[in-house]
Amino acid sequence: VSNREMFRPVYHFTPAYGWMNDPNGMVYKDGIYHLFYQYNPYGSMWGNMHWGHATSRDLVSWEHQPVAIAPDALGTIFSGSCVVDKDNTAGFGAGAIVAFYTSASDRQVQSMAYSLDNGKTFRKYARNPILTSTQRDFRDPKVLWHEASGRWIMILAVGQEMQIYSSPNLKDWTMESKFGEGQGAHGGVWECPDLIELPIEGTELKKWVLICNLNPGGPFGGSATQYFVGTFDGKKFVNESPALTKWMDWGKDHYATVTWSNAPEGRHIALAWMSNWQYANNVPTQQYRSGNSVPRDLSLYTSKGETYVKCTPSRELLKLRDKGTKKRSFKVDRSYNLDRLLSDNTGTYEIEMTFKNKNAEIIGFQLFNSKGEEVEIYYNLVDKQFAMDRTKSGDVSFSKDFPAVTLAPIEGKDEMKLRLLIDKSSIEAFGDDGRFSMTNLVFPSEPYNRISFYAKGGSYNITSFTVYNLKTN
Ligand code: FRU
């Protein structure tokens, strides 16, 4: 592995060469997960947007495919979505994969293309564009089938609001409503919407979730994913808690999150672009830029009367684990060091642990390497926050916005579970089975292979601790 490849993740998707941003048009059909993505085939910075394409049977090992949709006279190809038109409502053919994207030039309009060979090749619809507007920021169509009203729905990001359209045939669209004023965070432009109905765990109930990516205006600067929980009747989305802003992930590198269309078993599998517009063009990787997050199954949980999204790493990730190295339960009253996490640490591993607090105010640890580079992770049980500090994580020099401490609110129970998925240049933390997640990039000059636990204000036990090497076939 040459030095320039040292940060390339193993179980996260990256383009072989060139620039990637948003995941686009994710759709499942006949055993294959399709991933399209914002792609510059000519260089590793943003520009010349195409839809790149990759396929997978298991969401963790990906095969590169030829570019799916390339620029034309209407413009470059911005973000969007795909559906499987099972009943041939559009007349392209039963089972056609129909793609919706924004054609971007000095204006933004919505276009359509379809595939009659299971996503291998796309033909553009002859009467594009299918939707135009006088608004400048008018993009990222997400199309879904709304069972109750028997119609297709398109949700579009327009400036700082979402517009909802309906259609019987995927070609003719009627505006139904707008959503956004007075709702959630408005520190930047709203982008890449999604609208899904999710089950509330432990109940028979479901609620609708509107995913709304925004840039800038994220909780730690730059781009981030917010969402709203409420009802949707086929025309109008109503947010049940307008006064609250809800973030899907509490790190700096989780953006443009959308879900797979037509996923099996009623699953709602989300994928995010694992970077931030503040520095995505400057991260120290060559000759590609950006990977995606791990796939996450979304569901809902309720805490103190409020409903939130839970992000569980998709179960397919479990099969990457080797047999694992376990430690017996141990107590931390001042500090406790583990000098070697793995004998063959290649920077692609997972740590799963359970903390049982006695009376500590801070439960924390540093993950570090022999170069003095470290990531500090801690629970502050007084402020009820979980934190990840990457200010000394390795190369942080390429952007003033990169060094950061990110924080997530926690309930602060006596027993807390934490799962860390590490893949060369990223750390994804999942707390309490995904009740919170935090995704951050890091660029260490060698893998972190040591851990040093500490306690402040009291002590705690680590009742389970397992490290797994993660390997794809
Ligand atoms: C979000 C975004 C989208 C747009 C695409 C262009 O990251 O700005 O709104 O379609 O990237 O590449």
pLDDT, tens digit (0-9, with 9 covering 90-100), for 149-200? 999 999 999 999 999 999 999 999 999 999 999 999 999 999 999 999 999 9
* 5 occurs within a structural domain: no
**127 is a domain residue:** yes
Considering the domain architecture, whether residues 370 and 293 belong to the same structural domain is answered as: no
Between the CA of 200 and the centroid of ligand 1 the distance, in Å, is: 30
Please indicate, yes or no, if residue 20 is contained in any of the structural domains. yes
Residue 39 scores a pLDDT above 80 = yes
| Per-residue pLDDT at 473 exceeds 80 | no
* Number of alpha carbons in the 13 Å side-chain half-sphere of residue 372: 0
What's 357's domain CATH number?
Answer: 2.60.120.560
The answer to whether position 298 is within a domain reads yes
Sheet holding 151-158, edge to edge: 138-146, 151-158, 161-167, 174-179
Q: Could you read off the pLDDT of 380-425 as tens digits, one per residue?
A: 999 999 999 999 999 999 999 999 999 999 999 999 999 999 999 9
Q: Say whether both 185 and 66 belong to one domain.
A: yes
Answer yes or no: is 93 within a domain. Answer: yes
Enclosing domain of residue 424: 321-469
Please report the ipTM that was assigned to this predicted complex: 0.98
Percentage of the chain exceeding pLDDT 70: 99
How high is the pLDDT of residue 4? 79
> What is the 106 CA–ligand 1 centroid distance (Å)?
15
Residues 304, 344 share a domain = no
In whole angstroms, what separates CA 307 from the centre of its chain?
20
Q: Do 86 and 196 fall within a single domain?
A: yes
369 pLDDT above the threshold of 80: yes
Q: pLDDT at residue 148 above 60? A: yes
Q: Could you say which of 264, 296, 314 is where a domain stops?
A: 314
pTM: 0.98
Q: What is the pLDDT of residue 2?
A: 53
Residue 245's nearest CA partner among 215, 219, 273, 208 is 219
Distance CA 363, CA 461 (A): 10
With respect to residue 6, please indicate whether it lies within any of the assigned structural domains. Answer: no
Q: How many separate domains does the chain show?
A: 2
The gap from C-alpha 251 to its chain's centroid, in whole angstroms, comes to 11
**245 pLDDT exceeds 70?**
yes
Mean model confidence pLDDT for the chain: 97
Q: What is the pLDDT, as a whole number, of residue 140?
A: 98
CATH number of the domain at 148, please: 2.115.10.20
Closest-CA residue to 245 (of 166, 183, 326, 180): 183
Residue nearest ligand 1's atom 8 by CA: 191
CA distance linking residue 441 with residue 439, whole number of Å: 7
Site residues for ligand 1, CB cut-off 6 Å: 21-22, 38, 49, 78-79, 102, 139-140, 191-192, 256
Q: Which of 314, 341, 376 is the last residue of a domain?
A: 314
Q: Tell me the pLDDT tens digit for each residue of 123-139.
A: 999 999 999 999 999 99
Residues 372 and 234 both lie in one domain: no
Structural domain includes residue 220: yes
Shared domain check, 297 and 326: no
Q: Is 22 tagged catalytic?
A: yes
Q: Ligand 1 centre from 249 Cα, in Å? A: 19
Both 346 and 328 in one domain: the answer is: yes
| pLDDT at position 1 over 50 | no
Per residue in 306-334, pLDDT tens? 999 999 999 999 999 999 999 999 999 99
Q: Which of 314, 344, 364 is the last residue of a domain?
A: 314
pLDDT single digits (tens) 264-296: 999 999 999 999 999 999 999 999 999 999 999
8, part of any domain: no
Residue 375 pLDDT exceeds 90: yes
